[in-house]
Amino acid sequence: MSKAVYKFNIPFKDWLETHSQFDEIVLSGEMPLDEFANMKLLCKQYGKIVDIADFHIRVEKSTMDLYKDWNWNEYRVIIAETEESTISQGKRFPLITALFLNKEFSHRFLIEKEFVYSDDKTMIAYIQNRKTDIFISEGIKIIGRFACSDQDMIKRLTLPDSVEIIGESAFNDCDNLKDVVLPKRMKIIEESAFEGCDIDVVNFPEGIEVASAFCFNYNFLEQINLPIGLQVIEDGAFRFSCAEEIIIPEGVERIEDENFMGTEKIIFPSTLREISRTFFYEEILPETAIKPQVFVNPQNPIFYSKNGKMYKYGQEEEYLVIRY
């Protein structure tokens, strides 16, 4: 198979016209993002194999400014047209989209094997995986948004202690992902990071202050260990937990909608100041659903429990509204 090296010194379309006889194109150097998108379409049109093992992608500031204020619907349509593919929420995003989603972390990217890194190799923007096990090397601090979403083959994920941020939907809809340990230094887990996986035990590290919305939604968690220092549990973070007992640690101040459905017993701390009246589940539940027994730390100045139910001081009716 014949190969030719393209070094980005002239527009790719012009270069291709004089190198059309080659079967494989090896990229070398640094390429602007818009040129990369154009190159992919042309290679597809001419049936060329592209070796992207050693080059950088540069996101120009002008390009970033152009996309900065787009809403999600516009974003999906335009990127889908660029990639000649259909993008639906929760499904695999193409590489070019992953780079835009992670542009605040880095403007330049390096592709090595199945990983796309920021040029300083502290962030992973994209993982093109074909294995059951993913091993992330030490030194990575950020797993980018949608970096590894919708990868059904993954069963085990090894994260180094250096990881501090797991981005939005990073492992969304990895249906068979069961074995993962959150790094001790992790500080932020963004929305839907592990939504739709098969994880049954989660141990939150002590540095996390917010359990972001839907971060473990659709995981039928049998055990959840939450740390001292956690302050907020957002909508649906643990929506389908089926743990028998949940202990909300001291320090948690707010709990939002749709959490801990299927849990039999929940113990609330003295620090709790705000909780959604439909925190357990906001839709009508069947008669067979388990209504949790609620216990509140007696030192809580706003809420108290009686006979397994939660009340608010100064009000006679039960505070939590769980509709059956």
On average, the pLDDT of the chain sits at 82
pLDDT digits (tens, 9 = 90+) for 195-232: 999 999 999 999 999 999 999 999 989 999 999 999 99
Task: Return the number of other C-beta atoms located less than 10 Å from residue 300's C-beta.
Answer: 17
> What CATH fold (topology level) applies to the domain 59-199?
3.80.10
Report whether 55 contacts 111 (CB < 8 A). Answer: yes
The predicted-structure confidence for 217-270, as pLDDT tens digits, reads as follows 999 899 999 999 999 999 999 988 888 899 999 999 999 988 988 788 999 999
Bridge partners (DSSP) listed for residue 294: 266
The b/e string for 233-250 (b: 16+ C-beta within 10 A; e otherwise) is bbbbbbbbbbbeebebbe
Give φ, ψ of 66 to 5 degrees: -60, -40
Q: Given a cut of 70, is residue 85 above it in pLDDT?
A: no
Domain boundaries, the chain: 1-52, 59-199, 201-324
Burial bucket for residue 219 (CB in 10 Å: 0-12, 13-18, 19+) = buried
pLDDT band at 322 (very low <50, low <70, confident <90, very high): low
pLDDT in tens, 140-171: 999 999 899 888 889 999 999 999 999 999 99
pTM: 0.78
- pLDDT, residue 267, reads 96
Contact 202, 220 (CB under 8 A): no
Q: What is the pLDDT of residue 300?
A: 98
Per-residue pLDDT at 94: 65
DSSP H or E segment with residue 143: strand 142-143
